[in-house]
Structure 1
Amino acid sequence: MINEQLLNPKSIVVVGGSDDVQKPGGKVLKNLIDGNFKGNLYVANPKLDEVQGIKSYKNPQDLPEVDCAILAIAAKFCPQTIELLAKEKNTRAFIILSAGFSEENEEGAELERQIVETVNSVGGALIGPNCVGVLNSNYNGVFTTPIPSLDPKGCDFISGSGATAVFIMESGVPKGLSFSSVYSVGNSAQMGVEEILKYMDESYDPETSSSVKLLYIENIDKPEMLLKHASSLIRKGCKIAAIKSGSSEAGSRAASSHTGALASPDVAVNALFKKAGIVRCSGRDELATVASIFMHPELKGKNIAVITHAGGPAVMLTDSLSNNGLDVPHIEGPKSDALLEKLYAGSSVANPIDFLATGTAQQLGDIIDACENDFDNIDAMAVVFGSPGLFPVYDVYDLLDEKMKQCKKPIYPILPSVINVKDEIEHFLAKGRINFPDEVVFGDALAKVYNTPKPEAENIVIPEVDKKAIRAIIDEADNGYLAPEKIHALLDAAGIDRSKEGVIDTVEAAKEMAKEIGYPMVMKVVGPVHKSDVGGVVLNVMNEETVVAEFERLIKIQDTYAVMMCSQHKGTEVFIGAKREDKFGHMVLCGLGGIFIEVFKDVKAALAPISTEEAHEMIRGLQSYGIIKGIRGQEPVNEEKFADAVSRVAALMTVAPEIFEMDLNPLLGSKDAVVAVDARIRIEKEM
């Protein structure tokens, strides 16, 4: 795992170092030299006595003791070289740039296993293989460019892809984004993104550590570790943004429930990121833009002043902000009038605040001061200022820098003229500032940052359930769908309200059940997946004659082996489902129920366990929330009871992880109750 020899080695050997800087072994050595590595630098190369002016050892056996080894040799030679270094040269940190391991074939995977075993046996740290290396303020242990400006308060960046790490840095550096460290984990043989983040959490110091973490993830192998340490870092004051690639699924998966059809690995990723408070990004430019926003003071409210000397970008930015839940509020009143008097004729301060192409640095300063001090309905400022190339704008950008130092409200500089005023922008960035060259990319990213919730509390309070009763049912159950009576017992043990019901398979039993339940009632088939599609649901059964006739009809429907009879409730149909997702645990989903879930697919998902507060957030995040609240005289759904049921389903999942899928569809929600009237539970135990 991460150790001092990896972070701050006193000596480094490049195994496979070369004079050819177009090869990884040559380039990483050049980067180490150019970065003025302060420790002892060695090379192991079987053909040369000196490489790029550094002493080279033809036989690694002749090397002195060395803290860190960077390997750029063929995969087949790596295990024996690492064995030598670890056991005889006291080497405790290894960065393997070489490819040809588990990403290629089983033979490569076996080489990788041998290496990990050796490194673990001496308590060492391994990055890679198949990576571009490690970069921090102590050494440039990468074979790529660019080597970004390193700043202790810049971004810590962990990437599962070396090439993508390069491209993301190339997106961020021209904007002025700085970095504190870069880890390219490659195949993650010993340490992946999760382990590096775990170290950053456990070693976090608010005075010295970077408070911005960026992640590029291709596979989440340890979601529980990622959730724990990402949320912990964010609670400590950090901000985290991530790309999780590979979100689409080719083709459709066969699903036996509504939940199975709607729940996917990518839904689980979204749920994990939301629970942790991670801002999920979809591409490199968005990730770099979100990181740049993180470098500014935190946005405390959603009201933005758009300050511009060009109409088009202001309109596009306003659209972006407004369409994503932020506001560009109207500005008016005496203080607005006083500001307008300081601007040229034709200017507007209504918001967007347009002070025309001829606007001056002084006028921009007046506008910023008014937004900072006079307009209480403004939480932040986005300043769009480019140039048609007629005159330099150093004075504007210098003023912008000064105002950013003075103001408590965030100021976001959008400087789109990256060619016309290239020199002025470089002058601005040299002050440690960041540019957002595209107003729409910025607007979308700002809204995403603002709309990402804070992480869930470390200790989630969940409802009490009857664990003993639940385990007794689950332990006795076989794989497959539970019988209705077992489902009823589970719901009762979890404290989930359900309709009064029973399952019968004879006419006489149907008559007795009708007397027990009372009228009106519902009758439905047991067996077919989609009961409505086969005519297997009968509502408003009011007498024994109908009970007999409908039983005889229903029992003959294909795949039916029994008939369920239950008391009939009225209300809005809602839905709760759960599905076990590999490595992530259980996802719980909620939304409108009945056929609406299939048509609208309007659901929200979260990972169990779920507090009632998080359940409320899920419900309120539904597009159909207006229906749940009650609209145009329609009776609302009792949100407290709906949220409680969501939380209880999640609690059931934690006690009974053998539940693979569960559908409560529908539950009928009224102002007084939320009652499950149909349920399916599928058990899948590991064999």
Structure 2
Amino acid sequence: MLHEKLTNPKSIAIVGASNNVHTPGGRVLKNIIEHNFKGKLIAVNPKENKIQGIKCYQNINDVPKVDVAIIAIAAKFTLETIKVLAQQKNTKGFIIFSAGFSEKDAAGKKLEQDIVEEINAVGGTLLGPNNIGLINQNYAGVFTTPIPKLDKKGVDFISGSGATAVFIIEAAMSTGLTFSSVYSVGNSAQIGVEEVLEHLDETFNKNTSSKVKLLYIESIENPQKLLKHASSLIQKGCKIAAIKAGSSSAGSRAASSHTGALANSDTAVDALFKKAGIVRCFGRNELITVASIFMYPELKGKNIAIITHAGGPAVMLTDTLSKNGLNVPEIKGQKSDELLNKLFLGSSVSNPIDFLATGNAEQLETIIDYCEHDFSEIDAMVVIFGSPGLFEVFDVYDVLHKKIQTCKKPIFPILPSVVNVKNEIDYFISKGNINFTDEVLFGNALGKVNNTPKPRLGKNSKSTINSTKIRTILDIAENGYLQPQQVKELLLAAKIPMVNEAVCTTKQTCVKTATEFGFPVVLKVVGPIHKSDVGGIVLNITSEEKLIASFNTIMKIKGATSVLIQPMKKGIELFIGAKKEGNFGHLILCGLGGIYIEVLKDIESALAPVSKNEAIEMIHNLKSHKIIEGIRNQKGVDETKFAEIIEKISNLVTIAPEIAELDLNPLLGNEKEIFAVDARIRIEKN
């Protein structure tokens, strides 16, 4: 929780203040003065008596008590300065611009830790070090420009990078997007993105707080805190979009199981964002576009009318919306014909509604009114209107402004003529509007917003899972892959349906077991991890003679210790996996199994705990869902049973957090039953 004195101080000291506004200490003082801070300002500089009209103290020991200290001096001087402020001046809020701490070397990290300990001792809050500061409704405590237009209904923006925050603010201002607050966390020595989000959640007021949050994250140190407070804010009516930088899999460690190879930290980020309801973005412009969409009324359906005076952008937008699951439905009938008669010859109203380059403000107003009142199939409108530069279009943008304010259906303005009608766009923005400049970027962003699910906070079900048995097995297990018998006992305790199986070390026991199971049977090597890679699986063994020959072949494989024998079953091959992913907890994965998992890599993932409903949604989101459902006279799989097993695996790893990797591959499924045929579990105890 951020200290109230940091966010709403009555007094601020700038340590390292300067008359030179091209330095951090000079610029931050100028920003605070120019943006109407109503409290007391104090400057600290050993060489000055007055700075920018503000009284200056030469020695930190001489300053009066102060709520917030903004520190812009060399790193080596910061600790002693903070000791004086924290212990003697009752300072509770600290912003450190200075670099040269944990981002530099071990000595810098130690200095940073000592500073945090001093601030923690007095219950204070630190932003930084190595950051640009904080902007909110009360003060502009940053050394950068520009300072965006501040509006309580604007966005709250939290950034792990100061430079990225500046670039996003600059780009956002040109679209009309406003800000309620900007937090730059720098090295996050004490307070990171998660803690600021926690603060925004715990101080949220549905009447006065911003309902749009933007995050730029370089490292998720506390995934569960991020999940908790992001989902909480969204459930309170907020919308959140985030960039998580560093999404490549190049740094992922090599893994021995299918699950380990398919799941990595970025998969976990995706699963976290999906579970929380966060719209994930991958660039600054996408983030700004999504935020701008958030500022308009929410879509209530998928049918979009494109209103344009330019054919090309409308075609590109139609393609983009369609690819993202949104519709541009044909508009026809009596009302459509009626509207067409009110437009210039050559216009089209079938959707896109093209009223030509000569179209005017009066015609635009008429089209919007028809979409609002007469075309019931339309849920929202996109208006594309620029200019070849022959005449001014202020009247068109006046109509757009009026209709955005009065229509119940959302109207999204795409204004691409950023040079020809710059003055008109500035005029449009000055009325409090937000515009979009690129139809494809807008279409992709609208699709992403529409397709991001609401928070899905699954809970462990009250299953009949035998937690006592599970703990007994794992408490005596050693690190590494469990033996087949241990795997079998663990899965049975978790109520995972399994095909009959037995481990055999001799031909005689093999023959006896096969007789009990009934032919045909399957033999699998015990020892090597990837059985199929070493030729360690023999299917459809129909006779004792073939059984003995297969046993002899398998036991010659390097590393073979025994064979696993199972009845030969048929069905669609499925996959369920789990992987411990650091502080994120366990990722649960599902998809088609067998070789399909390697070839198609069609996998859905979710963070545990996974509810049955969430599991069903995972199954439905698979590209291969049609196969699971049943296609071309091939019967499908009982999806309810599939979802139940996914939920049971989620329950298992919650009870057994030392499970590092788990593979059920394949499970065989049909319309009546699903059972695990092959399983692998690796334990990693602390």
Do these two structures clear the TM 0.5 threshold for a shared fold by scoring above it?
A: yes
| One-letter code aligned to 2:423 | D
The residue number in structure 2 matching 1:285 is 285
Is the 8 Å Cα contact of residues 160 and 217 (structure 1) preserved in structure 2? yes
The residue number in structure 1 matching 2:516 is 516
Tell which deviates more after alignment, 296-305 or 261-270.
296-305
Is the 8 Å Cα contact of residues 462 and 647 (structure 1) preserved in structure 2? no
Please give the alpha-carbon distance, in whole angstroms, between the structure 2 residues aligned to 1:332 and 1:638: 42
Unaligned runs of 5+ in 1: none
Deviation of 1:568 after TM superposition, in Å, equals 1.7
Rate the CA distance shift 1:275–1:68 in 2: closer, same or farther, 3 A: same
Rate the CA distance shift 1:459–1:199 in 2: closer, same or farther, 3 A: farther
- Confirm whether residue 404 of structure 1 aligns to residue 413 of structure 2: no
Deviation of 1:249 after TM superposition, in Å, equals 3.2
Is the 8 Å Cα contact of residues 27 and 143 (structure 1) preserved in structure 2? yes
Is the 8 Å Cα contact of residues 242 and 280 (structure 1) preserved in structure 2? yes
Is the 8 Å Cα contact of residues 462 and 610 (structure 1) preserved in structure 2? no
The residue number in structure 1 matching 2:604 is 604
**What is the 5 A alignment of 1:37-186?**
37-186=37-186
Please give the alpha-carbon distance, in whole angstroms, between the structure 2 residues aligned to 1:383 and 1:674: 51
Is the 8 Å Cα contact of residues 135 and 183 (structure 1) preserved in structure 2? yes
- Confirm whether residue 468 of structure 1 aligns to residue 468 of structure 2: yes
| One-letter code aligned to 2:453 | P
Please give the alpha-carbon distance, in whole angstroms, between the structure 2 residues aligned to 1:423 and 1:3: 43
- Confirm whether residue 479 of structure 1 aligns to residue 479 of structure 2: yes
The residue number in structure 2 matching 1:500 is 500
Rate the CA distance shift 1:251–1:61 in 2: closer, same or farther, 3 A: closer
- Confirm whether residue 555 of structure 1 aligns to residue 555 of structure 2: yes
> Helix, strand or coil for the counterpart of 2:19?
coil
Please give the alpha-carbon distance, in whole angstroms, between the structure 2 residues aligned to 1:348 and 1:673: 55
Please give the alpha-carbon distance, in whole angstroms, between the structure 2 residues aligned to 1:457 and 1:509: 48
The residue number in structure 1 matching 2:275 is 275
Deviation of 1:457 after TM superposition, in Å, equals 3.9
| One-letter code aligned to 2:647 | S
- Between the two proteins, what is the percent identity of the paired residues? 63
Deviation of 1:535 after TM superposition, in Å, equals 2.0
Please give the alpha-carbon distance, in whole angstroms, between the structure 1 residues aligned to 2:550 and 2:559: 16
Is the 8 Å Cα contact of residues 520 and 567 (structure 1) preserved in structure 2? yes
Q: How many residues are aligned here?
A: 686
Instruction: Give CA-to-partner distance per residue, 1:442-466, whole Å, 9 cap, x none.
Output: 1110000000000014756464421
State the TM-score, normalizing by the size of structure 2: 0.99
Unaligned runs of 5+ in 2: none
The residue number in structure 1 matching 2:28 is 28
Is the 8 Å Cα contact of residues 159 and 217 (structure 1) preserved in structure 2? yes
Deviation of 1:540 after TM superposition, in Å, equals 1.5
The residue number in structure 2 matching 1:544 is 544
Rate the CA distance shift 1:99–1:251 in 2: closer, same or farther, 3 A: closer
Instruction: Give CA-to-partner distance per residue, 1:631-658, whole Å, 9 cap, x none.
Output: 1111101111111111111111101010
Deviation of 1:374 after TM superposition, in Å, equals 1.6
Tell which deviates more after alignment, 296-305 or 511-520.
511-520
The residue number in structure 2 matching 1:343 is 343
Rate the CA distance shift 1:43–1:76 in 2: closer, same or farther, 3 A: same
Rate the CA distance shift 1:73–1:164 in 2: closer, same or farther, 3 A: same
Deviation of 1:137 after TM superposition, in Å, equals 1.1
**What is the 5 A alignment of 1:115-514?**
115-250=115-250, 253-457=253-457, 459=459, 461=461, 463-514=463-514
Deviation of 1:512 after TM superposition, in Å, equals 2.1
Please give the alpha-carbon distance, in whole angstroms, between the structure 2 residues aligned to 1:381 and 1:550: 67
Is the 8 Å Cα contact of residues 50 and 56 (structure 1) preserved in structure 2? yes
The residue number in structure 2 matching 1:574 is 574
| One-letter code aligned to 1:203 | T
Tell which deviates more after alignment, 124-133 or 242-251.
242-251
Please give the alpha-carbon distance, in whole angstroms, between the structure 1 residues aligned to 2:424 and 2:325: 33
Deviation of 1:507 after TM superposition, in Å, equals 1.1
The residue number in structure 2 matching 1:681 is 681
> Helix, strand or coil for the counterpart of 1:566?
strand
| One-letter code aligned to 1:332 | K
Instruction: Give CA-to-partner distance per residue, 1:401-436, whole Å, 9 cap, x none.
Output: 111111111110000111111111111111110010
Tell which deviates more after alignment, 6-15 or 364-373.
364-373
Deviation of 1:136 after TM superposition, in Å, equals 0.6
Tell which deviates more after alignment, 374-383 or 121-130.
374-383
Is the 8 Å Cα contact of residues 240 and 279 (structure 1) preserved in structure 2? yes
- Confirm whether residue 626 of structure 1 aligns to residue 626 of structure 2: yes
Is the 8 Å Cα contact of residues 462 and 651 (structure 1) preserved in structure 2? no
Deviation of 1:376 after TM superposition, in Å, equals 2.1
Please give the alpha-carbon distance, in whole angstroms, between the structure 1 residues aligned to 2:434 and 2:376: 26
> Helix, strand or coil for the counterpart of 2:307?
strand
Rate the CA distance shift 1:207–1:317 in 2: closer, same or farther, 3 A: same
Instruction: Give CA-to-partner distance per residue, 1:457-507, whole Å, 9 cap, x none.
Output: 475646442111111111110001111111111111111111011111111
| One-letter code aligned to 1:135 | I
Deviation of 1:324 after TM superposition, in Å, equals 1.4
Rate the CA distance shift 1:441–1:462 in 2: closer, same or farther, 3 A: farther
- Confirm whether residue 671 of structure 1 aligns to residue 671 of structure 2: yes
Rate the CA distance shift 1:461–1:423 in 2: closer, same or farther, 3 A: farther
| One-letter code aligned to 2:2 | I
Deviation of 1:520 after TM superposition, in Å, equals 2.0
The residue number in structure 1 matching 2:5 is 5
Please give the alpha-carbon distance, in whole angstroms, between the structure 1 residues aligned to 2:363 and 2:461: 53
Instruction: Give CA-to-partner distance per residue, 1:177-216, whole Å, 9 cap, x none.
Output: 0000000000111110000001111111100100000000
- Confirm whether residue 643 of structure 1 aligns to residue 643 of structure 2: yes
Is the 8 Å Cα contact of residues 522 and 567 (structure 1) preserved in structure 2? yes
Please give the alpha-carbon distance, in whole angstroms, between the structure 1 residues aligned to 2:605 and 2:99: 38
The residue number in structure 2 matching 1:585 is 585
Is the 8 Å Cα contact of residues 462 and 648 (structure 1) preserved in structure 2? no
Please give the alpha-carbon distance, in whole angstroms, between the structure 2 residues aligned to 1:74 and 1:54: 22
> Helix, strand or coil for the counterpart of 2:634?
coil
| One-letter code aligned to 2:103 | E
Deviation of 1:296 after TM superposition, in Å, equals 0.3
Is the 8 Å Cα contact of residues 2 and 125 (structure 1) preserved in structure 2? yes
| One-letter code aligned to 2:188 | S
Please give the alpha-carbon distance, in whole angstroms, between the structure 1 residues aligned to 2:52 and 2:569: 82
Is the 8 Å Cα contact of residues 462 and 612 (structure 1) preserved in structure 2? no
Instruction: Give CA-to-partner distance per residue, 1:246-275, whole Å, 9 cap, x none.
Output: 111336632111111110100000000000
Deviation of 1:355 after TM superposition, in Å, equals 0.6
Deviation of 1:677 after TM superposition, in Å, equals 0.2
> Helix, strand or coil for the counterpart of 1:73?
coil
Deviation of 1:230 after TM superposition, in Å, equals 0.2
| One-letter code aligned to 1:294 | F
Please give the alpha-carbon distance, in whole angstroms, between the structure 2 residues aligned to 1:351 and 1:388: 23
Instruction: Give CA-to-partner distance per residue, 1:117-150, whole Å, 9 cap, x none.
Output: 0111111111100000000111110000110000
Deviation of 1:158 after TM superposition, in Å, equals 0.3
Please give the alpha-carbon distance, in whole angstroms, between the structure 2 residues aligned to 1:254 and 1:150: 47
Instruction: Give CA-to-partner distance per residue, 1:364-405, whole Å, 9 cap, x none.
Output: 111111111222221111100011111111111111111111
Deviation of 1:342 after TM superposition, in Å, equals 1.1
Please give the alpha-carbon distance, in whole angstroms, between the structure 1 residues aligned to 2:502 and 2:170: 65
